Structure 1
Amino acid sequence: MSLKIFPFESKYAGHFKDLNIAWLEKYFYVEPKDEVLLSDCENSILGVGGYIFMAEYENAIVGCFSLIPYKNNHFELGKMAVDTNYQGLRIGQQLLSFAIDFAKKNKWEAITLYSSTKLPTALHIYRKYGFKDVELEKDLPYARSDVKMELNLAG
């Protein structure tokens, strides 16, 4: 499989939003924080020092993810989505592996993510890649989040 993962460009803003809204509406609903991040990703993610990557397969944009500053040298992995027509091809795993490699190259200390027990396949993949469950804080960024995981990259 020839999956190409590359940095976001403005022309992909619609793809980024559409890919994320599709999975959010399939499993949950679009929350206010989603609206902020997806409606103006260039300011709300890139503008605060974050990153967005897109994935292309067979000339179609099929996936994406973001890395948003969380705290010192520590980023949050979010807005990871794969087009339903391309699920089952391990694109999500390739995106996750790319994100981890990118974090290691940048010498980040950790990656945090929020997820849900309604997404057992995603949780299995995160654990397979070394993410560990950590305590969930009270003021969560999303109502759907009932799992918080972290991948420690330091040491």
Structure 2
Amino acid sequence: MDQISIVEFEPKYASAFADLNYQWIAETYGVEQHDHDILDHPQGSVIDAGGQIFFALVGDEVAGAVAMIPYEGDAFELTKMAVDPAFRGQGIGDHLMNACIDLARRSPDRKRIILESNTKQVAAIRLYRKFGFTETPLDPNSQYVRANIRMELIVS
């Protein structure tokens, strides 16, 4: 396998971000409006909001992506993590997660990373727990109908 590199958002990667995420969301749950808001407008919904999208490249191919969006004052929301099925099991998720945690640690006003998911995403939940995320109460105002688990990581 080629070396994995992590790069930040560039417009040329926007379609890969959308394609990777639409694939798994549509297959598993059905796409919600909030998904469209982020995936169809990553520059405005993530980057211009003060967030970042990381891409894992294997060679010059996008193997995975994840977004970090400022949330609730002192947090980032980790959202839209996806790894191309052809690259699963190769540590792509670990590389993306490390980039997210590093961003949070470099951001003096961000002390937490939160995420909402669904327990059907067994591999994703295992990854989050591996990196120290713990379960917290669900947000009754969640923007995702499919969310049945909320997790948080305190960063230092």
Taking structure 1 as the reference length, the TM-score comes to 0.94
Gaps of 5+ in 1: none
**Secondary structure of residue in 2 paired with 1:45:** helix
Give the drift of 1:15. Answer: 0.7
Q: Which amino acid aligns with 1:17?
A: A
Answer whether contact 2:68 2:78 (CA < 8 A) is retained: yes
**Secondary structure of residue in 2 paired with 1:5:** strand
Deviations 1:109-151 (A, max 9, x none): 0000011110111111111110010000212111110000000
Runs of 4+ in 1 over 3 A off after TM superposition: none
Give the drift of 1:73. Answer: 2.8
- 1:103 is aligned to 104
1:5 paired to 2:25? no
- 1:58 is aligned to 59
Q: When the two structures are aligned, how many residues end up with a matched partner?
A: 154
- 2:121 is aligned to 119
Deviations 1:1-46 (A, max 9, x none): 5111011101111111001101112221111100111111101111
Task: Give me the whole-angstrom Cα distance separating, in 2, the residues matched to 1:64 and 1:30.
Answer: 18
- Summarize the alignment of residues 61-80 of structure 1 with structure 2, pairs less than 5 Å apart: 61-80=62-81
Answer whether contact 2:6 2:54 (CA < 8 A) is retained: yes
Alpha carbon RMSD of aligned pairs, Å? 1.2
Gaps of 5+ in 2: none
- Summarize the alignment of residues 11-22 of structure 1 with structure 2, pairs less than 5 Å apart: 11-22=12-23
- 1:45 is aligned to 46
- 1:131 is aligned to 133
- 1:142 is aligned to 144
Taking structure 2 as the reference length, the TM-score comes to 0.94
Find 1:152's aligned residue among 148, 151, 154: 154
Q: Which amino acid aligns with 1:132?
A: T
State, as a whole percentage, how many aligned pairs show the same letter.
Answer: 37
Q: Which amino acid aligns with 1:84?
A: P
Give the drift of 1:47. Answer: 1.4
Task: Give me the whole-angstrom Cα distance separating, in 1, the residues matched to 2:150 and 2:32.
Answer: 18
**Secondary structure of residue in 2 paired with 1:121:** helix
Q: Which amino acid aligns with 2:147?
A: S
